[in-house]
């Protein structure tokens, strides 16, 4: 259960206004190291005809000689060291908010509005959002009070960047070293007429499927809009001085619209395509809770809660798809030759819950909380839809026994808890069904067979956690220490398990075995200095989590989350192993440990079954500091990540293309690799640098980098301007904030090892065309009246 508490207006306080204005400039923090010696071409040659062009930079030395350029002109063949950098812009983010608090004798209200206008570092990409918030409380009579909140949020994103191997960043990074990025701004010929005229202009040969990044950002469309309404009303009633209760009804509705256009002539969809997606998800919760407080004796206090909730979640969606524009100059649906429409009528999921808890306190040093909750979910079959879960939480405060005089310990708390939580699934996961594809074949109806075997006997998931904690405050709260250890065991996880397709399905929907997470979190903080005018607070934290797939379903020992497009690496979990293990190709070796090449002298890769690391870090740590010198305050935060591996497709792509600095190796000389052929003979065949990197760039092992890094995550200086009185304000604070300023250390080439393909487990461990990490500098102004 997540309780969200927002700030209510403070009763009795005066009418107040806070204005906050924040402007930040984002810049690319760093880019991969590109070579600026050789130009576009292959096998050491620059193209001599337009049909010879490639996207690679394996040409001759960029010596300034006159060579054919991709646009057909003759140009000086010179390196363009900044051609990647030139594509990115300064991102400007501006966030302004105002909040108004007011209160009367019996009521409070708070209103706030936040406006966010952000321009990305990519051309044509921006976000704007508005957030309105209204919260009011009122004591209607001495027993009854009301609390209401309404939030409305709307957001528009244009030019939402495509990431990954076919995304815009991958395209920009692959620009040949002798191409001026500014020449790509013309992405289509003027006045196109034939379909071939509509084709994008790119730096590759005609007829290639190479993208133009300006086309992607400025000609194609990727729009996303989102509107969210959230609100509740709560009536609270004090029956007696020991019994109270409330009824609360809340709703949360989100509408999301996505609109994408790939214009005619697009590098992948030359006939053009258009998509519109609309999703609506809603949630309605009706809840009641009765709370009784009793002192069972002078030393024992008890609080009892009994409550219930009815949750109704809905989802509906529409999807329109069209391709092949009849008249290629304008993208709209009736202008497409092929189109289809998919409607997802409203899906409903209901969960009813009853719960109760009892909290006991003994003599203000020993505490015991017990709770129980039963859920009934519509997504599970009749035999499994009711499930009970419980928790016990105990804590003791021992400082009075250990250190009655408070010489050292202000607080010495030991806590322990055991809890389990049940969880259901989404709608329609029980009964096997078939869908009718919109198009059929030759006008005949066809049926799609399900790729997932559903399961009428799905059980609820069970998450069991045991936690132990120790909290200490010492020397007048100058030194704080907090340690917690946890062991979370998830069983019966509802999961689409990939199975051999020979079973007749690609996935079985099953309650799968057991996943464990064990970890430790530690923080140590305190006041280093406090002289009145100067204070310095510091804290260090560290955490470690280890997870393990203990068992899957019978006969299966591997879960694959993601496989790279080339198939050279996958992110997996294996029974007995960690979640997020990376398996991929390596350079083959014989039994004696010699590398193997083929008869032409090129490295031979293994099957993609070599263990290459794990996508999850060993430790995370941080050190935060806040110093104040009178009206000046300084904060900084250093973040650290130790261990964990990541595949850099950014680096392998640049090596294969000959754009990386690494790819200068063997350019002129070629190399006869110290290796043996498959027959065991010593290799005598020489290969070119292009061939060497062509082979090496396909081998995953070469691009597995450590995620370890230490960075200055944030640094800020604030100043309380002495002009508050002059403005009639309570305070005026100006703050300069810098984020991602620099790395103290980073092991990975080319990439920010924390910028991964995705945040879920399948996207971890792979860096591919992520937006470059930005360094930002911002100014924040807060006025309080």
Partner 1 sequence: MKKTLLYLAFGFLFTFSACTDDFDEINENPTALTAKDVSAKFFVTSAQQNFFGPNRYPYWRGPIIHVDRFSGHTAFGYKSNWWSDGLGYTYHAGYTGAVYGYMEGYNSTLNAYTNFVKPGGTLENDKYYAIALIMKGLYYQKYADTFGAAPYTEASDPDITTPKFDSVQTIYEGVIAELDEAIALIGDATTTGEGPQLLGENDLFFNGDMQKWKQLANSLKLKMALRGHGGNGADYSAHVASALSGGILANDNALMARDTEITTWVSAVYGDVWGPFYGGGNWHLTKTLIDALRDNNDPRLSKYAKPSKGGTIEWAKPAEGTRVALFDKHVSYLTGILDSAGATYTKTSDGAGGYTITMPENTNYIGQPTRLNGEIKPLLDRKLWSEPADIVVNQHNSGKPIFPFVVMTAAESHFMIAEAITKGLASGDAQNHYQTAIRHAMQLWDVAGGDIDTYLANEDMAKLNGSTDQNLEKIATQRWMALFTNGFEAWAVVRDTGYPTELSAGVSDDDIFVLGDLNGAYPQRMRYGSGPYNTNAANVEAAASVQGPDRQGTKLWWAK
- CB of 445 or CB of 531, closer to partner 1: 445
Minimum CB separation of residue 236 from partner 1 in Å reads 10
SS3 701: helix
Minimum CB separation of residue 201 from partner 1 in Å reads 13
Return the exposure string of 559-585: e unless at least 16 CB atoms fall within 10 Å of the residue's CB, then b.
bebbbbeeebbbbbbbeebbbbbbbbb
| C-alpha to C-alpha distance for 559 and 511, rounded to whole angstroms | 14
Cβ proximity of 453 and 430 under 8 Å: no
In terms of Cα–Cα distance, which of 579, 648, 570 is closest to 608? 570
Q: Report in angstroms the alpha-carbon separations of 308 from 3, 202, 374, 514.
A: 15, 62, 9, 30
SS3 695: helix
- CB of 91 or CB of 307, closer to partner 1: 307
- CB of 156 or CB of 323, closer to partner 1: 323
- CB of 161 or CB of 596, closer to partner 1: 596
DSSP secondary structure letter of residue 35: -
- CB of 74 or CB of 607, closer to partner 1: 607
Cβ proximity of 107 and 145 under 8 Å: no
| C-alpha to C-alpha distance for 148 and 86, rounded to whole angstroms | 50
Minimum CB separation of residue 50 from partner 1 in Å reads 8
Three-class HEC string of 55-67: CCECCCECCCCEE
- CB of 193 or CB of 451, closer to partner 1: 451
Phi, psi of 652 (to 5 degrees): -65, -40
- CB of 206 or CB of 477, closer to partner 1: 206
SS3 1: coil
In terms of Cα–Cα distance, which of 586, 587, 585, 595 is closest to 680? 595
List beta partners, residue 16. 101
SS3 212: coil
- CB of 436 or CB of 779, closer to partner 1: 436
In terms of Cα–Cα distance, which of 431, 471, 464, 478 is closest to 450? 431
Name the H helices within 688-783.
689-696, 724-727
- CB of 90 or CB of 669, closer to partner 1: 669
List beta partners, residue 460. none
Minimum CB separation of residue 427 from partner 1 in Å reads 6
- CB of 579 or CB of 771, closer to partner 1: 579
Element of type H or E holding 96: strand 91-103
What is the maximum span of the chain, computed from C-alpha positions, in angstroms?
Answer: 97
Minimum CB separation of residue 605 from partner 1 in Å reads 9
Minimum CB separation of residue 379 from partner 1 in Å reads 6
Minimum CB separation of residue 378 from partner 1 in Å reads 4
Q: Report in angstroms the alpha-carbon separations of 724 from 20, 305, 765.
A: 14, 47, 50
Phi, psi of 643 (to 5 degrees): 80, 175
- CB of 434 or CB of 684, closer to partner 1: 434
Minimum CB separation of residue 196 from partner 1 in Å reads 6
Minimum CB separation of residue 617 from partner 1 in Å reads 24
Minimum CB separation of residue 497 from partner 1 in Å reads 9
Minimum CB separation of residue 272 from partner 1 in Å reads 10
Name the H helices within 199-242.
213-214
């Amino acid at each position: 259960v997540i309780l969200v508490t927002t700030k209510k207006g403070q009763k009795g306080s005066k009418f107040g206004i806070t204005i906050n204005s924040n402007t930040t400039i984002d810049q690319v923090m760093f880019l991969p190291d590109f070579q600026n010696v050789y130009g576009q071409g292959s096998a050491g040659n620059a193209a001599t005809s337009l049909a010879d062009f490639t996207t690679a930079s394996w040409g001759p030395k960029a010596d300034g000689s006159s060579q054919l350029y991709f646009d057909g002109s003759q140009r000086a063949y010179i390196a363009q060291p900044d051609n990647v950098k030139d594509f990115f812009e300064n991102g400007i983010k501006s966030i302004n908010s105002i909040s108004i608090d007011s209160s009367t004798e019996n009521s409070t209200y708070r209103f706030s509005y936040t406006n966010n206008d952000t321009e990305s570092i990519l051309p044509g990409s921006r976000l704007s959002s508005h957030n309105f918030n209204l919260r009011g409380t009122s004591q209607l009579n001495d027993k009854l009070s009301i609390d209401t909140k309404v939030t409305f949020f709307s957001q528009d994103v244009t030019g939402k960047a495509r990431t990954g191997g076919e995304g815009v960043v991958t395209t920009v990074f692959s620009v040949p070293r002798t191409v001026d990025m500014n020449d790509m701004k013309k992405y289509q010929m003027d006045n196109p007429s034939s379909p071939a005229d509509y084709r994008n202009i790119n730096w590759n040969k005609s007829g290639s499927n190479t993208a133009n990044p300006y086309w992607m950002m400025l000609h194609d469309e990727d729009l996303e809009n989102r509107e969210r309404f959230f609100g509740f009303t709560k009536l609270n009633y004090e029956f007696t001085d020991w019994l109270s209760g409330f009824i609360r009804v809340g709703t949360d509705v989100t509408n999301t619209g996505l609109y994408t256009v790939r214009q005619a002539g697009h590098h992948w969809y030359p006939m053009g395509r258009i998509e519109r997606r609309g999703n609506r998800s809603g949630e309605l919760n009706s809840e009641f809770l009765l709370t009784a407080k009793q002192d069972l004796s002078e030393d024992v206090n008890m609080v009892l809660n009994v409550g219930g909730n009815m949750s109704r979640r809905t989802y509906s969606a529409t999807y329109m798809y069209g391709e092949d524009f009849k008249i290629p100059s304008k993208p709209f649906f009736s202008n497409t030759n092929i189109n289809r429409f998919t409607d997802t009528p409203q899906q409903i999921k209901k969960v009813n819950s009853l719960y109760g808890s009892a909290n006991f306190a003994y003599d203000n040093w020993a505490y015991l909380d017990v709770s129980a909750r039963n859920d009934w979910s519509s997504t599970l079959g009749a035999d499994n839809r009711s499930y009970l879960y419980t928790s016990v939480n105990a804590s003791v405060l021992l400082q009075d026994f250990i250190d009655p005089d408070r010489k050292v310990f202000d607080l010495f708390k030991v806590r322990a808890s055991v809890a389990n939580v049940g969880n259901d699934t989404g709608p329609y996961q029980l009964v096997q069904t078939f869908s009718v594809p919109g198009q059929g074949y030759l006008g005949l109806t066809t049926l799609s067979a399900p790729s997932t075997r559903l399961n009428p006997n799905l059980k609820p998931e069970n998450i069991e956690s045991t936690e132990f904690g120790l909290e200490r405050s010492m020397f007048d709260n100058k030194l704080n220490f907090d340690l917690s250890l946890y062991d979370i065991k998830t069983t019966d996880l509802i999961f689409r398990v990939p199975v051999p397709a020979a079973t007749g399905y690609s996935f079985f929907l099953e309650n799968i075995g057991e996943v464990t997470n064990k970890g430790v979190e530690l923080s140590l903080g305190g006041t280093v200095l406090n002289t009145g005018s100067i204070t310095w607070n510091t804290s260090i934290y560290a955490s470690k989590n280890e997870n393990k797939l203990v068992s899957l379903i019978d006969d299966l020992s591997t879960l694959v989350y993601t496989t790279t497009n080339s198939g050279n690496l996958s992110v997996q979990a294996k029974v007995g192993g960690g979640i997020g293990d990376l398996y991929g190709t390596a350079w083959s070796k014989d039994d004696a440990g010699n590398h193997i090449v083929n008869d032409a002298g090129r490295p031979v890769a293994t099957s993609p079954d070599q263990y290459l690391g794990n996508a999850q870090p060993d430790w995370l740590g941080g050190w935060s500091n806040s110093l104040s010198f009178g009206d000046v305050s300084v904060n900084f935060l250093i973040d650290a990540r130790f261990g964990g591996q990541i595949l850099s497709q950014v680096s392998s792509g640049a090596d294969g293309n000959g754009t990386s600095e690494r790819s200068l190796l063997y350019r002129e000389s070629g190399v006869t690799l110290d290796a043996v052929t498959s027959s065991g003979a010593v290799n005598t065949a020489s290969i070119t640098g292009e061939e060497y990197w062509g082979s090496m760039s396909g081998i995953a092992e070469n691009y597995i980098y450590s995620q370890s890094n230490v960075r200055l995550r944030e640094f800020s200086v604030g100043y309380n301007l002495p002009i508050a009185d002059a403005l009639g304000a309570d305070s005026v604070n100006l703050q300069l904030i810098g984020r991602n300023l620099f790395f103290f250390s980073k092991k990975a080439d080319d990439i920010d090892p924390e910028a991964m393909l995705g945040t879920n487990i399948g996207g971890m461990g792979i860096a591919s065309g992520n937006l470059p990490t930005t360094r930002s500098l911002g100014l924040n102004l807060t006025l309080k009246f």
